[in-house]
């Protein structure tokens, strides 16, 4: 499988602050990769360098075989193959959903069908509505529609579900799953660990300008082999025990108690627990 | 799959112009502020100051010429210097920059909006001037020629300077508070609201640096009788100098725009 994104030794400073301190990263074709990290860890800077919005100080970067620092006509040919969904844009409220998507379609060599994109993002019924009448979630869907109208091979999704209610978030995840089926490579940044877990094939955790680990959501930070916490209601109230062998512990408890073990739970570390441990409580 | 070529900058630019005009017409504030407000001002000033300046030239006619010149500044400089910071603030510019749309298409779109709104405004002001304030259309083809290059060159300079000035407002919300006073002060200094030669000398000298003074003088040369030229500062219309000074501002505006234009607020 070929790499859509490949980064070696990426560095970027603002004045005396080193925002990105030597990052290596490869993302394969068709992969959904989530970049996690607290605010100020260098996440946005890294992504914006990959998107061609910022210049790097050092390192090799290739996105779809092209250096994102290119400009001019070659940059247009490159941008024709990528889609970018930025954080919150709030413009053009006086245009309808359909007008806006149809207009952006004119920027690309091989745009998708406007009605098909409207249906894909679940805005078919809102196509005639003016943008300023849309809810936050609907606006975000429009952002995604504008990101995918050019049939991109690579899609950047920057915190796509911030401000969504749980139902809208689930619906959005289904949309991303549909994009995965079309073979689109996706680089996702998010603050929601459940989102990364639901969508990403691999996650990378970035802290203080460096990648501290890249793994699958299930294996990150030794999560699969981490201790489980078994808790139950004993004679002295709620008791709990951390163990690497919860099955044996429950076997023992089931002989201690005559019937059901009261209030029995077995809890493994969530991705969020692991993540917070990794970044040392930097996130708020 | 991707044998098709990316659409040309001109094709996209024309599409942007159409889209921006559609947005313009749907925003009641912009239609009122940019198009109707100058007509209202014309109605007020033209009705209050009806005194005769000299042999058959009324202040109303003098004022109409000044307002047409101001129309070039309103639709170009003022409109863009306010609109672009708003688009920068809203993230519109950053989003566009992430697409294959080239910067030139963005500016082609802006030029189309400015040009169309400018033509509408000049047309409305002329109609009002003819109907209510005794303005006569010139009969001399040479004056029509002057009128044509004045609106083309003046509008181009105004557009370029609007783009150049768009880096100054710190935010979209504050843009009109930064831009509008500049325009209004220039209008006072440049002989739009008062007869230029009645202004204090220092004010005339300051105004002579900026293009609006030359645009208003140029418009007077089109719409007032040639005998009035004697009442100008130099006792002459100074058409050649007018052309050179507006052209110089156009070149300066283009140069500054290219050097300083910002897509977003980041470092």
Q: What secondary structure, in 3-state letters, does B195-218 show? A: CHHHCCHHHHHHHHHCHHHHHHHH
Asked whether the ipTM of the predicted complex exceeds the cut of 0.95, the reply is no
Q: Cα-flanking dihedrals φ and ψ of residue A113, to 5°?
A: -65, 130
**Among chain A residues, CA nearest to B104:** A72
* Mean pLDDT estimate for chain B: 89
Which stretch of A115-124, A148-157, A255-264, B66-75 has the lowest confidence by average pLDDT? Answer: A255-264
- Using CA of residue A143, residue A145, residue A147, residue A153, what is the dihedral sign? positive
**Among chain A residues, CA nearest to B105:** A107
What's the rounded mean pLDDT across residues A103-109? 96
Contacts of A91 in chain B (CB under 8 A): 87, 90-92, 95
What does R_g of chain B's alpha carbons equal in angstroms? 19
Q: What is the pLDDT of residues B135-165, one digit of tens each?
A: 888 889 999 999 999 999 999 999 999 999 9
What's the rounded mean pLDDT across residues B44-51? 80
Chain A: nearest CA to B20, how far in angstroms?
A: 9
- Is the CB of B100 less than 8 angstroms away from the CB of A91? no
What's the rounded mean pLDDT across residues A51-66? 95
Per-residue pLDDT at B77 exceeds 90: yes
DSSP element (H, E) containing B116: helix B103-132
Per-residue pLDDT at A284 exceeds 70: no
- Is pLDDT larger for residue B171 or for residue A65? A65
What's the rounded mean pLDDT across residues B118-129? 92
Q: How confident is the model at residue B266 (pLDDT cuts 50, 70, 90)?
A: low
Structure confidence at residue B57 (pLDDT): 85
- Is pLDDT larger for residue A168 or for residue A249? A249
Contacts of B22 in chain A (CB under 8 A): 94-95, 99
Tokens in use for A270? Answer: 């969530």
What's the rounded mean pLDDT across residues B123-132? 90
Pick from B15, B97, B267: CB nearest A106: B15
Nearest in space to B176 (alpha carbons), one of B33, B66, B38: B33
Q: What is the pLDDT of residues B190-223, one digit of tens each?
A: 989 888 999 999 999 999 999 999 999 999 999 9
Q: Cα-flanking dihedrals φ and ψ of residue B15, to 5°?
A: -60, -40
Per-residue pLDDT at A211 exceeds 70: yes
Yes or no: say if B170 and B87 are a contact pair by the CB < 8 Å rule: no
For chain A, say whether B258 makes contact (Cβ under 8 Å): no
Taking the C-alpha atoms of residue A34 and residue A36, their distance in angstroms, rounded to an integer, is: 6
What's the rounded mean pLDDT across residues A179-189? 92
- Is pLDDT larger for residue B103 or for residue A268? B103
Q: How confident is the model at residue A60 (pLDDT cuts 50, 70, 90)?
A: very high
Contacts of A76 in chain B (CB under 8 A): 6, 100-102
Contacts of A108 in chain B (CB under 8 A): 6-7, 99-100
Question: Could you give the angle at which helices B59-73 and B141-165 cross, rounded to 10 degrees?
Answer: 50
Which stretch of A209-213, A242-246, B261-265 has the lowest confidence by average pLDDT? Answer: B261-265
Contacts of B97 in chain A (CB under 8 A): 53
Structure confidence at residue A62 (pLDDT): 96
For chain B, say whether A49 makes contact (Cβ under 8 Å): no
Q: How confident is the model at residue A283 (pLDDT cuts 50, 70, 90)?
A: very low
What's the rounded mean pLDDT across residues A118-138? 90
For chain A, say whether B6 makes contact (Cβ under 8 Å): yes
Taking the C-alpha atoms of residue A158 and residue A136, their distance in angstroms, rounded to an integer, is: 15
Longest CA–CA span in chain B (Å) reads 74
Task: Count the Cβ atoms, other than its own, within 10 Å of residue B120.
Answer: 15
Q: What is the pLDDT of residues A150-167, one digit of tens each?
A: 999 999 999 888 777 788
Task: Count the Cβ atoms, other than its own, within 10 Å of residue A21.
Answer: 15
The domain spans of chain B are: 9-260
**Among chain A residues, CA nearest to B91:** A89
What's the rounded mean pLDDT across residues A72-93? 86
Structure confidence at residue B1 (pLDDT): 44
């Amino acid at each position: 499988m070929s790499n859509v994104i490949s980064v070696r030794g990426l560095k970027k400073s603002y004045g005396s602050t080193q925002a990105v301190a030597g990052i290596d990263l490869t993302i394969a074709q068709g992969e959904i990769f989530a970049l996690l990290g607290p605010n100020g860890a260098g996440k946005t800077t890294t992504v914006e360098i990959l998107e061609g919005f910022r210049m790097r100080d050092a390192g090799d970067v290739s996105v779809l075989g092209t250096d994102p620092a290119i400009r001019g006509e070659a940059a247009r040919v490159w941008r024709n193959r990528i889609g970018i969904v930025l954080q919150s844009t709030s413009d053009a409220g006086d245009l309808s959903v359909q007008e806006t998507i149809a207009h952006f379609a004119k920027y690309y060599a091989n745009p998708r069908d406007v009605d098909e994109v409207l249906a894909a993002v679940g805005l078919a019924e809102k196509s005639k509505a003016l943008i300023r009448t849309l809810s936050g979630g609907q606006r975000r869907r429009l952002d995604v529609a504008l990101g995918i109208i050019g049939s991109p091979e690579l899609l950047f999704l920057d915190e796509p579900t911030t401000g969504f209610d749980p139902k809208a978030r689930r619906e959005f995840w289904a949309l991303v799953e549909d994009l995965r089926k079309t073979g689109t490579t996706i680089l996702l940044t998010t603050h929601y660990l459940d989102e990364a877990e639901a969508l990403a094939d691999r996650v990378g955790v970035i802290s203080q300008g460096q990648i501290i680990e890249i793994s699958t959501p299930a294996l990150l930070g030794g999560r699969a082999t981490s201790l489980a916490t078994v808790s139950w209601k004993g004679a002295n109230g709620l008791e709990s025990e951390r163990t690497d062998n919860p099955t044996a512990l429950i076997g023992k408890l089931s002989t201690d108690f005559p019937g059901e073990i009261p209030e029995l739970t077995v809890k493994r570390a969530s991705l969020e627990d692991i993540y917070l441990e990794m970044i040392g409580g930097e996130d708020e | 799959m991707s044998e098709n070529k990316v659409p040309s900058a001109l094709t996209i630019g024309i599409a942007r112009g159409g889209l921006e005009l559609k947005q313009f017409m749907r925003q009641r504030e912009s239609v009122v502020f940019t198009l109707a407000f100058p007509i209202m001002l014309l109605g007020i000033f033209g009705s209050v100051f009806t005194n005769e300046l000299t042999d058959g030239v009324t202040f109303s006619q003098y004022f109409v010429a000044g307002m047409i010149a101001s129309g070039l500044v309103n639709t170009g400089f003022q409109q863009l210097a306010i609109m672009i910071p708003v688009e920068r603030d809203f993230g519109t510019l950053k989003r566009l920059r992430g697409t294959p749309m080239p910067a030139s298409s963005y500016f082609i779109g802006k030029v189309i909006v400015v040009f169309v709104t400018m033509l509408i405004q000049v047309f409305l002001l002329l109609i009002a001037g003819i109907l209510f304030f005794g303005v006569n259309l010139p009969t001399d083809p040479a004056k029509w020629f002057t009128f044509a290059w004045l609106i083309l060159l003046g509008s181009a300079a105004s557009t370029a300077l609007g783009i150049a000035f768009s880096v100054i407002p710190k935010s979209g919300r504050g843009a009109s508070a930064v831009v509008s006073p500049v325009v209004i002060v220039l209008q006072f200094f440049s002989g739009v609201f008062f007869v230029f030669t009645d202004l204090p000398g220092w004010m005339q000298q300051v105004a002579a640096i900026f293009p609006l003074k030359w645009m208003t003088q140029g418009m007077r040369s089109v719409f007032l009788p040639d005998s009035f030229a004697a009442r100008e500062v130099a006792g002459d219309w100074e058409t050649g100098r007018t052309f050179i000074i507006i052209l110089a501002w156009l070149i300066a505006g283009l140069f500054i725009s290219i050097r300083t234009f910002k897509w977003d607020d980041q470092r």
